[in-house]
C-alpha cells in the first residue's frame, strides 16, 4: 500500500481524537442516537465543563455534528467513517467483554449448583 504523509497524518489525528476515555464514551453513546448536552451529562456522569470541553474537541475534529432545536443542541456522529470505527471498537472491546462477563457469571452459577 502506498500512503501519502497526509493520509497517514489524518489517520493519526483521527486515532488521537479517539484516545481519550471521555471522548470515546461520548462517541459510543452517540452510536445509535443523538442526544442533547443535558442528556449526555446525565448518562455519562460527567460534569458540564468536562463534557463541554470534550464535545468541543470532537466538533473540532469533525467526529460529531450538531443541530439546534430551540434552546437545545443535539449531538450525533458526523460520518459513516466515525460510525464504522466506533462499531468496530464496540465489537472488539465492549461486546467481547460483555460476552466474557456472561460466560464467567454462567460458570459461577454452574459451580454453585454442582455442589
- From first to last of its 115 residues, what are the pLDDT tens digits of the chain? 567 999 999 999 999 999 999 999 999 999 989 999 999 999 998 899 999 999 999 999 999 999 999 999 999 999 999 999 998 998 888 765 434 555 455 555 555 655 4
Contacts of 61 (CB under 8 A, 6+ apart): 13, 14, 17
Residue-range definition of the domain harbouring residue 73? 5-114
For 47, phi and psi rounded to 5 degrees?
-70, 150
> Which pLDDT belongs to residue 108?
55
CATH number at residue 79: 1.10.10.10
> Which pLDDT belongs to residue 97?
47
Q: What is the pTM of this model?
A: 0.76
Contacts of 90 (CB under 8 A, 6+ apart): 28, 31
Provide the number of structural domains found in the chain: 1
> Which pLDDT belongs to residue 61?
95
DSSP 26: H
> Which pLDDT belongs to residue 102?
52
> Which pLDDT belongs to residue 112?
63
Amino acid at each position: 500500500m502506498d500512503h501519502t504523509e497526509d493520509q497517514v497524518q489524518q489517520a493519526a489525528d483521527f486515532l488521537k481524537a479517539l484516545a481519550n476515555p471521555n471522548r470515546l464514551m461520548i462517541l459510543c453513546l452517540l452510536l445509535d442516537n443523538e442526544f442533547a448536552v443535558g442528556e449526555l451529562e446525565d448518562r455519562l456522569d460527567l460534569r458540564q465543563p468536562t463534557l463541554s470541553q470534550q464535545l468541543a474537541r470532537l466538533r473540532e475534529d469533525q467526529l460529531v455534528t450538531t443541530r439546534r432545536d430551540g434552546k437545545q443542541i443535539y449531538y450525533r456522529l458526523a460520518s459513516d467513517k466515525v460510525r464504522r470505527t466506533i462499531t468496530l471498537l464496540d465489537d472488539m472491546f465492549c461486546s467481547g467483554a460483555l460476552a466474557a462477563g456472561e460466560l464467567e457469571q454462567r460458570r459461577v452459577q454452574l459451580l454453585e449448583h454442582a455442589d
